[in-house]
Copies of this chain bind each other. A is one copy, B any other.
């Protein structure tokens, strides 16, 4: 093959005896046979009769090209497990090669254990084949339904970061990570190679990247496959790995090379770990990796209709497309299937022959049954301190200031202390900026690269993982959670959009795995979004975007939760709740700047348990109000309370009710979200006919969406972020978006029937106050201290 770079290859070793070679090749053929069968066959699974049109699926949906490579690697990892009793999980970067992973789970018996309807016999084979990419069956990609997988393989780019996440704090685990050469072109994968600077060989397991250069994507060659070999090797060494290359298109040679390469790699991993764990070696190791260069669609049809298929992009999906209607294609399919010599592999009943089954590991050592790939099996609850011990005293609401995330930091510090083996805090170099610095009293930042004097809290033992890549933070955390551990991702609110698509896929995974009884619940993915839209004083418009919540709200309600903590004590209560939850994505939005505290800890707990409620101390209404001032988010809460303060002074006979919302999913009816407040309770809070002025943290539309089916919906007027942002003062930001206290008072005057004429003077004063505030800010470069220093009940 032209891209084989044969000159770089050593002579083929002979690691496998002839019998071993024959057996491992047979096992590979069995997996390939089952893969092709899944893509093509409805019936006649053992080819006991000539292949007829009705045996073939009417719609051929799947991907063959990557599959023989995945199967080859799987068979050889089985050999390593057998020889060394190694504890290995298999991450499938080219996840579209779904049939391969299903085939292997079937060959080692796991599939029939998990899906008892699909037995190890001819009827089981028939069902196995039929269900693949079939209505009511299983997806074409590696997915939650696939035993042994920890991630949905549809969206490429995350294999390596998931692999590292799985390896952290699992010292005995080796995570074999197959990276497709197409996937290797993505940004997250390209950045992910540097994860080795964050892996501690003492405490963590190992990741063995296997870069599978089969040369092609859907219709193009891949970049890495078309580099001169020296350049590729330089790249991989630059990433900090020692590549071991295997290349060829002769099975016997490739089997021998790959067996030798895996032996070498696992020897090396063991040596690295031994040296590190004995204390003999302290510096960051150069970990081994495999470069496997084999043809795309290997062992499939070489030429179809005169076009070269094997070894080219044409084998990406289904090499033979007309097997139902074109007898020549069908004939070629039959030859292809028979080329694996199925009768040598399966007995008359369709059961894998015992000498082949003996090659597969048993029990939990099977990669398809390894409990690390069903993390809920290994999940242990966090040992959580009593969050009430971290509460800030609040003698009177809205009079004292705290930094909410700093309050939380002290709690997280002790979560880290108590859970040294199963909790990590991820963040793109923002943990200190986000005022969670107390965690560094308990731990350091994970760091295996070089250090110099004066470095701040860096060590191989650190449990805070900081890298300037939201993709890595998210991917590591996903891998860590999916293998049964816990964590929090703290992120600037605007930049969490960088991982929108990763969130989407994780939420989909959770939705699906919740429907699979054998998948055990895992810890929730907890986002702490701070440095939020309203307080980007240093950065301006590029850092202002509260839209992640909208994205989250599009996913299935049973897996998403959103909490807007108005102050430090509510943040403590919310975080405690989220750290105890399972199988959710929890989005927590909180401020980091000094801000008023509203609730003492008991009130905070009561408030968070309800998720929303009346703040009577800020309300003038005792019975039915004239107007409801609702708020969600720390800054909207501040402005709402300041507006309530103006109203109670200026219009003392107006009955104002203040409602604060922490859990915004409570706004939906119970039919839409499990947290939904019953209509009657909603109406009791928000009335059925009074104006509601709702000050919301994000894009206003979400509140309409959530309250759309409520009785009083037409009276709900929402203020929020309307995409007016820049570098300016906090109060100027709220004014730019009409969310300021003065505007809220104007809204009340304009919306409460009959108030406009009675409060015309006040209304004008509010208009003037806005102008004056703006002038003050522009002149002094800071907010009028009368405004920024506002506190409840202080003139």
Interface residues of A (CB under 8 A from B): 2-3, 42, 57-59, 61-63, 95-96, 130, 133-141, 143, 152-157, 182-183, 185-194, 197, 217-223, 226-228, 231-240, 308, 312-313, 317, 429-433, 445, 447, 449-456, 458, 466-469, 471-472, 494-495, 497-498, 500-501, 504-505, 508, 511-512, 537-543, 545, 547, 550-551, 554-556, 699, 701, 704-705, 708, 723, 726-729, 732, 777-778, 780-782
Q: How far is the CB of A113 from chain B (nearest CB, A)?
A: 23
- Report how far A431 CA is from B217 CA in the complex, Å: 12
Contacts of A156 in B (CB 8 A): 468
- Report how far A135 CA is from B705 CA in the complex, Å: 34
- Report how far A137 CA is from B454 CA in the complex, Å: 37
Contacts of A138 in B (CB 8 A): 727
- Report how far A551 CA is from B551 CA in the complex, Å: 7
Asked if residues A152 and B222 are in contact (CB atoms below 8 Å), the reply is: no
- Report how far A501 CA is from B239 CA in the complex, Å: 26
Contacts of A777 in B (CB 8 A): 135-136
Q: How far is the CB of A461 from chain B (nearest CB, A)?
A: 16
Asked if residues B505 and A542 are in contact (CB atoms below 8 Å), the reply is: yes
Contacts of A220 in B (CB 8 A): 429, 445, 447, 456, 458, 466
Asked if residues A449 and B501 are in contact (CB atoms below 8 Å), the reply is: no
* Contact among B140, B219, B708 for A540, CB-based, below 8 A: B140
- 9 A-B pairs within 8 Å (CB atoms) are namely A155-B498, A186-B469, A187-B190, A194-B223, A308-B454, A494-B504, A498-B500, A500-B551, A554-B701
Asked if residues B727 and A185 are in contact (CB atoms below 8 Å), the reply is: no
Asked if residues B467 and A223 are in contact (CB atoms below 8 Å), the reply is: yes
Contacts of A542 in B (CB 8 A): 95, 139, 141, 143, 152-155, 505, 508
Asked if residues A469 and B429 are in contact (CB atoms below 8 Å), the reply is: no
Asked if residues A133 and B59 are in contact (CB atoms below 8 Å), the reply is: no
Asked if residues B704 and A58 are in contact (CB atoms below 8 Å), the reply is: no
Contacts of A238 in B (CB 8 A): 231-239
Asked if residues A540 and B191 are in contact (CB atoms below 8 Å), the reply is: no
Contacts of A447 in B (CB 8 A): 220-221
Contacts of A541 in B (CB 8 A): 139, 143, 152, 154, 508, 512
Contacts of A545 in B (CB 8 A): 504
* Contact among B139, B219, B556 for A723, CB-based, below 8 A: B556
- Report how far A337 CA is from B153 CA in the complex, Å: 56
Asked if residues A449 and B223 are in contact (CB atoms below 8 Å), the reply is: yes
Residue of B nearest to A721 (CB): B554
Q: How far is the CB of A620 from chain B (nearest CB, A)?
A: 31
Contacts of A550 in B (CB 8 A): 550-551, 554
- Given A235-B235, A451-B226, A453-B2: A468 touches B217 (CB 8 Å cut-off): yes
Q: How far is the CB of A783 from chain B (nearest CB, A)?
A: 9
Residue of B nearest to A731 (CB): B135
Most B CB contacts (10 A, CB to CB) among A141, A187, A450, A505 go to: A187
Contacts of A143 in B (CB 8 A): 540-542
* Contact among B469, B495, B501, B723 for A495, CB-based, below 8 A: B501
Q: How far is the CB of A75 from chain B (nearest CB, A)?
A: 26
Asked if residues B226 and A471 are in contact (CB atoms below 8 Å), the reply is: no
Most B CB contacts (10 A, CB to CB) among A494, A539, A547, A780 go to: A539
- Report how far A227 CA is from B781 CA in the complex, Å: 42
Asked if residues B154 and A540 are in contact (CB atoms below 8 Å), the reply is: yes
Asked if residues B554 and A547 are in contact (CB atoms below 8 Å), the reply is: yes
Asked if residues A217 and B429 are in contact (CB atoms below 8 Å), the reply is: yes
Residue of B nearest to A543 (CB): B154
Asked if residues B185 and A134 are in contact (CB atoms below 8 Å), the reply is: no
Report the 7 A-B pairs with minimum CB-CB distance, sorted nearest first. Answer: A154-B542, A235-B238, A187-B187, A234-B238, A190-B190, A226-B449, A497-B501
- Report how far A556 CA is from B452 CA in the complex, Å: 47
* Contact among B59, B187, B192 for A782, CB-based, below 8 A: B59
- Report how far A41 CA is from B489 CA in the complex, Å: 37
Q: How far is the CB of A52 from chain B (nearest CB, A)?
A: 16
Contacts of A498 in B (CB 8 A): 155, 157, 500-501
Asked if residues B135 and A471 are in contact (CB atoms below 8 Å), the reply is: no
Q: How far is the CB of A669 from chain B (nearest CB, A)?
A: 14
Asked if residues A139 and B227 are in contact (CB atoms below 8 Å), the reply is: no
Residue of B nearest to A217 (CB): B429
Asked if residues A185 and B194 are in contact (CB atoms below 8 Å), the reply is: yes
Contacts of A234 in B (CB 8 A): 234-235, 237-238
Q: How far is the CB of A713 from chain B (nearest CB, A)?
A: 9
- Report how far A233 CA is from B235 CA in the complex, Å: 9
- Given A542-B141, A554-B723, A699-B554: A183 touches B781 (CB 8 Å cut-off): no
Asked if residues B727 and A228 are in contact (CB atoms below 8 Å), the reply is: no
Q: How far is the CB of A649 from chain B (nearest CB, A)?
A: 28
Q: How far is the CB of A160 from chain B (nearest CB, A)?
A: 11
* Contact among B134, B313, B555, B778 for A781, CB-based, below 8 A: B134
- Report how far A782 CA is from B135 CA in the complex, Å: 8
Asked if residues B538 and A62 are in contact (CB atoms below 8 Å), the reply is: yes
Asked if residues A182 and B468 are in contact (CB atoms below 8 Å), the reply is: yes
Q: How far is the CB of A45 from chain B (nearest CB, A)?
A: 15
* Contact among B187, B227, B236, B547 for A551, CB-based, below 8 A: B547
* Contact among B221, B469, B701 for A455, CB-based, below 8 A: B221
Contacts of A136 in B (CB 8 A): 728, 777-778
Residue of B nearest to A57 (CB): B781
Asked if residues B454 and A186 are in contact (CB atoms below 8 Å), the reply is: no
Asked if residues B59 and A183 are in contact (CB atoms below 8 Å), the reply is: no
Q: How far is the CB of A795 from chain B (nearest CB, A)?
A: 24
Known pairs A234-B238, A500-B551 / 19 extra A-B pairs, C-beta < 8 Å: A61-B727, A133-B538, A136-B728, A141-B727, A183-B468, A187-B187, A187-B188, A187-B469, A187-B472, A190-B190, A221-B451, A226-B449, A235-B238, A238-B239, A497-B500, A497-B504, A500-B500, A504-B545, A504-B547
- Given A469-B186, A508-B541, A727-B61: A237 touches B231 (CB 8 Å cut-off): yes
Asked if residues B780 and A58 are in contact (CB atoms below 8 Å), the reply is: yes
- Report how far A317 CA is from B236 CA in the complex, Å: 34
Contacts of A189 in B (CB 8 A): 187, 191
Contacts of A699 in B (CB 8 A): 554
Q: How far is the CB of A635 from chain B (nearest CB, A)?
A: 17
Asked if residues B454 and A312 are in contact (CB atoms below 8 Å), the reply is: yes
Residue of B nearest to A449 (CB): B226
Contacts of A469 in B (CB 8 A): 185-187
Contacts of A458 in B (CB 8 A): 220-221
Contacts of A726 in B (CB 8 A): 139
- Report how far A495 CA is from B538 CA in the complex, Å: 32
Q: How far is the CB of A389 from chain B (nearest CB, A)?
A: 27
- Report how far A222 CA is from B138 CA in the complex, Å: 43
